[in-house]
Structure 1
Amino acid sequence: MTTAPSKQATYKQRYEQDDDGLRFQELTYTGNFVGMEPVTDGILGDKMMKSRAKSGVLEKVAKDDVLRDQFTIDELNDLNNYLAWNIWDVLVMRATEGVSGMIPRQEYEILAFMHEFYRWPEILRMTTDEVGGGQGIMDIGATARREIGTKVNAVHDWAIGAVGFGMGRCGLLALEAIGPDDYVEESNEILKFMQRILWGKRQDGYLLNSQDRYRCRIHEADFLDGIVAQVEPFEPNSPQHQKFTRFNAAAELLSFLDHYDCRLGLGDTGPYELPDGRLLILRDLFVNEEVFHWSDVCDDEKLPHCYTLALVVDPQLMGLQEIRVNDISTTFTRPKNYIESIVGGVVFAREKWNTPMGEVYPIKIDDLEEHLTRVQNATLKLYAKTARMCRRDLIWNGQYVYYVDMILPHLRLAGTYEKACQDYDFWEIDQRVANYYYDITKRGFAQETVPSKIFSGAGYLPFSDNADPRRSKYRWL
Structure 2
Amino acid sequence: MANLNYPSLLETNNYVRNLSDTTYWLCITRTVQESKLFPMSPYMLLSYLNSFYRLPTQLREIDAITPAEELGDRAREVSLKVNTVNGAWGMPTFYLLGREMLMNWGLIRPTDAVDDVVDVLDFSRRFNLAYHRNDGHLTNKEFGDRSQFLPERTVQVFDADLHGVTPGDRLHTAATKLIAQLSQFAFLAHCECRIGLHNSGPYNFGNDRQMIVRDFFDLTEGDYPWLDGIATRLPFNNLTIPIVFKDTNFHLMDDWASFEAEPSYNASNIVAIGMYSSDALTDGYVPVGMDNADTLADTMEQYREILNEATTDLWKRIASWSREQMIDAGALVYSSVGKDFAHLAGTYRQDDWLQLDERVQRFKPLMNDEYGRDHLGEMVGLLGLPHQSANEYTMARYSSLNRNMINGIPYSVLTDDDYAPTVGDHFAGSSSLPVKTGLWTTSAGRIDIDDYNARARGFTPAVLDGAHRYHDEEWVKWHHGSAQADELYRLTQRGSRNLEGRGSALSRADLTGLGDPKGDDHADR
TM range (shorter): 0.7 to 0.9
Structure 1 range deviating more: 459-468 or 288-297: 459-468
In the other structure, the counterpart of 1:430 is 357
Which has the higher mean CA deviation after the structures are superposed, 458-467 or 198-207? 458-467
Query: Which one of the candidate residues 398, 407, 414 is aligned to 1:461?
Result: 407
- 1:196 and 2:114 equivalent? no
Alignment partners' CA distance in 1, 2:47 and 2:285: 36
Could you tell me which residue of structure 2 aligns to residue 441 of structure 1? 368
Looking at structure 2, the residues matched to 236 and 214 of structure 1 have their Cα atoms a distance apart, in angstroms, of 29
- Please state if 1:259 is matched with 2:186: no
Alignment partners' CA distance in 2, 1:277 and 1:186: 47
Specify the SS of the correspondent of 2:150: coil
Q: CA deviation at 1:195?
A: 0.7
1:117–1:168 contact (8 Å) kept in structure 2: yes
Aligned equivalents of 1:79, 1:353: Cα separation in 2? 28
Find the counterpart in structure 2 of residue 408 from structure 1.
Answer: 339
C-alpha distance in 2, partners of 1:472/1:282?
A: 45
CA distance in 2 between counterparts of 1:88 and 1:127 reads: 29
Counterpart position of 2:22: 86
TM-score by length of structure 2 reads 0.69
1:170 aligns with 2:116: no
Return the alpha-carbon distance in structure 2 between the equivalents of residues 359 and 100 of structure 1.
Answer: 34
Say if 2:382 is the partner of 1:452. no
Superposed displacement of residue 124, structure 1: 1.0
What CA distance in whole angstroms lies between the structure 2 residues aligned with 1:468 and 1:433?
A: 30
Larger of the two Rg values belongs to structure: 2
1:354 aligns with 2:281: yes
Alignment correspondent of 1:324: 252
Letter in structure 2 aligned against 1:248:
I
Q: CA deviation at 1:437?
A: 0.8
CA deviations over 1:259-278 (Å, ceiling 9, x no partner):
11122211222111114441
- 2:57 matches 1:125: no
Give the corresponding residue for 2:474.
none
Asked if 2 retains the 8 angstrom alpha-carbon contact of 1:160 and 1:194, the reply is no
Give the Cα–Cα distance (whole angstroms) in 2 for the partners of residues 460 and 409 of structure 1.
Answer: 25
Distance 2:73 2:127 in 1: 8
Q: CA deviation at 1:427?
A: 4.1
Given that 2:27 and 2:380 are in contact with CA atoms closer than 8 Å, whether structure 1 keeps it comes out as no
| Residues 383/263 of structure 1: CA separation in 2 closer, same or farther (3 Å cut) | same
Q: Which deviates the most, 228-237 or 380-389?
A: 228-237
Partners of 2:39 and 2:326 within 8 A in 1: yes
The secondary structure found in structure 1 opposite 2:230 is helix
Q: CA–CA distance in 2 between the matches of 1:451 and 1:151?
A: 27
Larger mean CA deviation between 262-271 and 359-368 belongs to 359-368
Name the CA distance, whole Å, in 1 between partners of 2:262 and 2:26: 15
Shift of 1:113: 0.5
Deviates more, 1:137-146 or 1:159-168: 159-168
Shift of the 358–170 alpha-carbon distance from structure 1 to 2, 3 Å rule, reads closer
Q: Identity percentage over the alignment?
A: 22
Consecutive unaligned residues of structure 1, counting only runs of 5 or more, are 1-66
Deviation at 1:69, TM superposition (A): 8.8
Higher mean C-alpha displacement, 220-229 vs 338-347:
338-347
Residues 468 and 451 of structure 1: CA distance in aligned 2, closer, same or farther (over 3 Å): farther
Please report the RMSD computed on the Cα atoms of aligned residues, expressed in angstroms. 2.8
Residue 111 of structure 2 aligns to a residue whose secondary structure is coil
Distance change in 2, residues 1:280/1:439 (3 Å): same
Q: Distance in 1 between matches of 2:106 and 2:63?
A: 30
Cα 1:190–1:475, aligned 2, differ >3 Å: closer, same or farther?
closer
1:71-107: CA deviation from partner (whole Å, max 9, x where unpaired): 544433332222122112223344540x211111111
Q: Alpha-carbon deviation of 1:111?
A: 0.4
Aligned AA for 1:337?
Answer: Y
Number of residues paired by the alignment?
Answer: 393
Q: Contact (CA 8 Å) 2:220, 2:231: kept in 1 or not? A: yes
1:138 corresponds in structure 2 to 69
Select 2:209's aligned residue among 278, 290, 293. Answer: 278
Match of 2:156 among 182, 204, 225: 225
SS where residue 112 of structure 1 aligns?
Answer: helix
Structure 2 residue 105 is matched with structure 1 residue 158: no
By how many angstroms is 1:300 displaced?
3.3
The one-letter amino acid paired with 2:62 is: T
| Mapping 1:269-418, distance limit 5 Å | 269-286=200-217, 287-288=219-220, 290-314=222-246, 316=247, 318=248, 320=249, 323-350=251-278, 353-357=280-284, 359-363=286-290, 364-367=295-298, 368-404=300-336, 406-418=337-349
Change (3 A) 1:359 1:414: same
Please state how far the C-alpha of 1:379 moved relative to its aligned partner: 0.8
CA drift of 1:238 comes to 4.8
Partner of 2:420: 473
> Match for 2:11 among 68, 75, 81?
75
